């Protein structure tokens, strides 16, 4: 029997998770919610997805006949992926999912304490097995966790300092941008470091962050003190072998976030998405005196990197125990090697 999945919150993340679920052989997309009428609802209708209303909507006024309300979606689904804006997922757990004893995943806008379990598939899949409520960490935290987990396994991480250079807004967002400024996060550390520790519990990490006038991707610069000596060629191999990490090269003219997104479009990726974390080969370095300090730079496609994590988390929460197998099954439909 396929796992029946409902999507609550059909925006940037929700619509991508819906498509990814619809493509999995072991899952069935029950439907998606519409909070108000928009082009997203039109696209969902064209794709043949069932549409369930949440709250008062203007769907009928716009010629869409909904397939039911939120309670119908909850009745039909085994598990909900909630991709609503910050704090709404937390409220929905209390108001909608707990009363129906419904399993639910929330996203990185929610706090760790909302679920007590935060998830990145290759780092801590087992923590989510058979759980009722799990949070997928934010795009930035997912990016840091994927590469630091690989480095920690290979060399042992003593401590990390990372700086997040964040896009000002998503490409379709007219409410948070454009900005004509470089805006530092004026808190130390930024929230990303403590957030990484909700997944990589033993990694000592300090983070700083700033936003820049771009919409395409984030960039991280990472400095890690290692327990063992490293050499650049070996580190390249470690990243090449890590799940959902792609080593990109200036030599192939992938010098910037703009070219990475163009590359994703040319690969024929749905919506031009790049869910892998892209580490620049030429920007991996180790200090020459000790070989114990590693530096690297990576790019994060904020709209898509958490999407495969949602798919794996569904399997874990529904009792599928093989993390590696789940990651492979998910990667196959995304075309991730
Ligand atoms: P979004 O604004 O693009 O989409 C949210 C959707 O939820 C919209 O379609 C909106 O109509 C709908 N909605 C609003 N209130 C609702 C309600 N009460 N019930 C049901 N639906 C409602 O937001 P997003 O960028 O997809 O973010 C969703 C979550 O994912 C947040 O927690 C965010 O922090 C997290 N996240 C976002 C990104 C990103 O870069 N966009 C990356 C990683 C994680």
For the chain, residues classed under CATH 3.40.50.720 are 3-137+306-334
Ligand 1 atom 21, closest CA: 9
The CA distances from residue 212 to 185, 215, 263, in Å, are 11, 9, 22
Atom of ligand 1 nearest to the CA of 302: 40
The whole-angstrom separation of Cα 177 and Cα 37 is: 23
Is the pLDDT at 218 greater than 90, yes or no? Answer: yes
Q: Is 210 exposed, middle or buried (0-12, 13-18, 19+ CB in 10 A)?
A: middle
Cα(11) to ligand 1 centroid in Å equals 5
The DSSP bridge partners found for residue 166 are 211
Atom of ligand 1 nearest to the CA of 110: 32
pLDDT confidence of residue 63: 86
Cα(236) to ligand 1 centroid in Å equals 35
- Are 275 and 301 spatial neighbours (Cβ–Cβ below 8 Å)? yes
pLDDT confidence of residue 230: 95
Q: Is 294 helix (H, G, I), strand (E, B) or coil?
A: strand
Close Cβ partners of 280 (under 8 Å, ≥ 6 residues apart):
247, 248, 249, 250, 254, 296, 297, 298, 299
pLDDT band of residue 289 (cuts 50, 70, 90) is confident
Cα(25) to ligand 1 centroid in Å equals 26
By most ligand atoms within 8 Å of CB, the mutation choice from 6, 7, 8, 9 for ligand 1 is: 9
- Are 241 and 324 spatial neighbours (Cβ–Cβ below 8 Å)? no
Give 41-78 pLDDT, tens digit per residue.
999 999 999 999 998 778 887 888 999 999 999 999 99
By most ligand atoms within 8 Å of CB, the mutation choice from 16, 74, 83, 177 for ligand 1 is: 83
pLDDT confidence of residue 57: 77
Domain spanning 3-137+306-334: CATH superfamily:
NAD(P)-binding Rossmann-like Domain (3.40.50.720)
For the chain, residues classed under CATH 3.30.360.10 are 139-300
Q: Give me the phi and psi of 202, to 5 degrees please.
A: -105, 10
pLDDT confidence of residue 60: 81
Cα angle vertex 41, ends 39, 43, to 5°?
70
Give 50-60 pLDDT, tens digit per residue.
999 998 778 88
Ligand 1 atom 34, closest CA: 109
Is the pLDDT at 178 greater than 80, yes or no? Answer: no
Question: For domain 139-300, which architecture applies?
Answer: 2-Layer Sandwich (3.30)
Task: Name the pTM for this structure.
Answer: 0.97
Pocket residues: Cβ below 6 A from ligand 1? 8-14, 33, 35-36, 40, 54, 83-86, 88, 107-109, 138-139, 170, 302-303, 306
Cα(82) to ligand 1 centroid in Å equals 8
Average pLDDT, the chain: 96
Active-site residue flag, 139: yes
The whole-angstrom separation of Cα 220 and Cα 213 is: 15
Give 75-134 pLDDT, tens digit per residue.
999 999 999 999 999 999 999 999 999 999 999 999 999 999 999 999 999 999 999 999
Cα(61) to ligand 1 centroid in Å equals 24
Ligand 1 atom 20, closest CA: 9
Is the pLDDT at 277 greater than 90, yes or no? Answer: yes
């Amino acid at each position: 029997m396929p796992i029946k999945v409902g999507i609550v919150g059909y925006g940037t993340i929700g619509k991508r998770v819906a498509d990814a679920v619809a493509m999995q052989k072991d899952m069935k997309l029950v439907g998606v919610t519409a909070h108000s009428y928009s082009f997203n609802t039109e696209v969902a209708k064209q794709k043949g997805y069932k549409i369930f209303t949440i709250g008062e909507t203007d769907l009928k006024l716009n010629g869409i006949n909904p397939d039911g309300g939120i309670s119908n979606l909850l009745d039909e689904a085994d598990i909900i992926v909630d991709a609503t804006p910050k704090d709404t997922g937390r409220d929905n757990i209390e108001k909608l999912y707990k009363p129906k004893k419904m399993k639910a995943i929330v996203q990185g806008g929610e706090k760790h304490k909302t679920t007590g379990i935060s998830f990145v598939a290759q780092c801590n899949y087992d923590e989510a097995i058979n759980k009722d409520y799990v949070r997928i960490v934010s795009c930035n935290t997912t990016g840091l966790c994927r590469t630091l987990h690989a480095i920690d396994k290979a060399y042992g991480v003593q401590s990390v300092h990372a700086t997040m250079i964040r896009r000002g807004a998503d490409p379709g967002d007219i409410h948070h941008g454009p900005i004509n400024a470089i805006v530092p996060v004026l808190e130390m550390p930024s929230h990303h470091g403590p957030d990484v520790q909700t997944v990589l519990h033993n990694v000592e990490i300090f983070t700083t962050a700033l936003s820049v006038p771009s919409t395409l991707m984030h960039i991280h610069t990472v400095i890690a003190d290692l327990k063992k000596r490293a050499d650049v060629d070996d580190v390249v191999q470690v990243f090449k072998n890590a799940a959902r990490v792609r080593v990109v090269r200036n030599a192939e003219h992938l010098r910037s976030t703009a070219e990475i997104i163009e590359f994703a479009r040319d690969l024929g990726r749905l919506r031009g998405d790049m869910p892998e974390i892209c580490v620049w080969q030429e920007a991996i370095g180790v200090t020459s005196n000790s070989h114990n300090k590693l530096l690297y730079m990576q790019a994060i496609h904020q709209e898509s990197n958490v999407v495969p994590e949602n798919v794996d988390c569904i399997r874990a929460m529904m009792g599928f125990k093989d993390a590696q197998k789940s990651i492979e099954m998910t990667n196959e439909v995304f075309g991730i090697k």
